[in-house]
Structure 1
């Protein structure tokens, strides 16, 4: 018997991911609930983390890289006084400290973690080392050597300083590990630290307040869930929008440079539409756009 492939359904479903489930499991559940042929997500959340997980369906998967590169916001709490194997509360304690920072001390350290910084990912992460995931090596008792990577931190703000804890908000670019920030901040303050809880409150144009609770993906699968889908172009709000001429639209649909109205910077990434809807993402070339990803809608 041939395996059912699913429906050609396109759009974005914003899920408020609960703790205790992987991002891949969320995507698989959404794909099943909507009987979608194709699905993916824009930015992994740790199993213990909650908040915005943007799930792309169908042709929207061609825009995932745009959202992955967008700024994201995290609200997280750090427990001071211990460093763990995973840099969060799920790991085993490696070292302890009796020191506890004041709010003023935390505030004073934050500028060193903003702007363009270099960050070493956690040992328990999906970073590949010689073709293997770091978390697989770490689970086998190996200590993978991970190289520092550049990260843009737009802002890092102390929201609340408690007794032995600090609640912070970070806005950062692609590839940021909040667990690494907690670990490195604890080391900088001399008190050690790890993430106690973590919530992504927004990702690019998508806000957690617009997210669907994960239990409703099961409970309300069908017409209600499909009605929550956002259009493909919802992820493209940071790109200039240009309109194709009738002849340009035909050429773009065939993967060729097509004439557009409106303007942008030469070589700038834009998205193109016509009366039928989004046509492509591509590079502006002075009156025409060279498509990089064409949408088959």
Structure 2
């Protein structure tokens, strides 16, 4: 017997909600509020934020959850503040202080160490994180007092700037690859400086390609359910940094049969692109049909189907 399909809520939307997550609740808690209060039972995200952090949280709704792999991997930009001289078990101010050390460094020392983040290519995953070991989150092991394994992950820091240093605190802005732990960057800085450092505030200013000035406050979203449908970015607009092509009926039929369409080498024309480009294909009625990437097939560039979107039951 096949798996029974869950009945879809009449209120369920398909697309993206750009949320300004408040500091305090977990990302999961915010999603649960939207899920139950606005009856969005099919819901996901494009990369969570720690409870202390606020800022851009991409909430994927309905068929929008299918786009998670293509929205969660983009560059993230953060601004934040840390305090020197304190080390905590969670690497942020919400944890227990494990060590206090006198601060004997200069403003220029601090600025130099912030800029050094751009040289880093890997970092240690915090013990209090959602990363898993044998199927169990590290934070669960840490809370049980069990030893957590040391996990190292690659990172890319594309931009760093020191915004202000008022000892013993300093603020910064950093753009980085998805999954980078900002509190680990701060902890590594404190270790290098010999006095420890703890993250005390953090704002995600953007989650590529969406910015904080596009985001909606959670409280406002929940208190105005009637306007909620109009606040959801439609599925066809969820990847604005990708090319979009509306297909003719014959071409749409080929895609639905799994065919790879030829890449057009004429810029500005239908299905134009270069190897490595990604695009969203639209059906004749402007609904999303498929996500594709330009790859070689038989030594010819063709649009390879990454994710079919035409079967939306």
What TM-score do the two structures reach when normalised by structure 1? 0.91
1:183 aligns with 2:195: no
Aligned to 1:284: 294
Secondary structure of the residue that 1:236 maps to in structure 2? Answer: coil
1:103 aligns with 2:107: yes
Range moving further from structure 2, 55-64 or 267-276: 267-276
Conserved? CA contact 2:22–2:54, under 8 Å: yes
1:295 aligns with 2:309: yes
- The correspondence for 2:231, drawn from 228, 232, 242, is 228
How far did residue 189 of structure 1 move?
1.6
How far did residue 4 of structure 1 move?
5.7
Conserved? CA contact 1:81–1:100, under 8 Å: no
Give deviations 1:53-102, integer Å, cap 9, x for gaps: 11011121121211211111111110110110000011111122101533
- The correspondence for 2:274, drawn from 240, 265, 286, is 265
Distance 1:100 1:208, change over 3 A: farther
Cα root mean square deviation, aligned: 2.1
- The correspondence for 1:54, drawn from 58, 68, 81, is 58
Give deviations 1:81-129, integer Å, cap 9, x for gaps: 0110000011111122101533211222234311551100111001111
Distance 1:157 1:204, change over 3 A: same
> After superposition, where does 1:1-297 map in structure 2 within 5 Å?
5-7=8-10, 8-115=12-119, 117-221=121-225, 223-258=226-261, 261-277=270-286, 278-285=288-295, 286=300, 288-296=302-310
Range moving further from structure 2, 117-126 or 58-67: 58-67
Structure-2 separation of matches of 1:170 and 1:126: 22
Structure-2 separation of matches of 1:83 and 1:105: 19
Distance 1:197 1:103, change over 3 A: same
How far did residue 232 of structure 1 move?
2.1
Conserved? CA contact 2:275–2:301, under 8 Å: no
Secondary structure of the residue that 1:216 maps to in structure 2? Answer: helix
Give deviations 1:137-163, integer Å, cap 9, x for gaps: 100112312221110111121111013
How far did residue 3 of structure 1 move?
7.9
Aligned to 2:266: none
Structure-2 separation of matches of 1:115 and 1:269: 29
How far did residue 43 of structure 1 move?
0.6
Conserved? CA contact 2:21–2:56, under 8 Å: yes
Secondary structure of the residue that 2:179 maps to in structure 1? Answer: coil
Conserved? CA contact 2:252–2:284, under 8 Å: no
List runs of 5+ in structure 1 lacking aligned partners. Answer: none
Distance 1:126 1:246, change over 3 A: same
Secondary structure of the residue that 1:114 maps to in structure 2? Answer: helix
List runs of 5+ in structure 2 lacking aligned partners. Answer: 264-269
Structure-1 separation of matches of 2:131 and 2:110: 29
Conserved? CA contact 1:138–1:144, under 8 Å: yes
Give deviations 1:175-194, integer Å, cap 9, x for gaps: 10011011001111222101
Range moving further from structure 2, 2-11 or 280-289: 2-11
Conserved? CA contact 1:244–1:258, under 8 Å: no
Distance 1:255 1:115, change over 3 A: farther
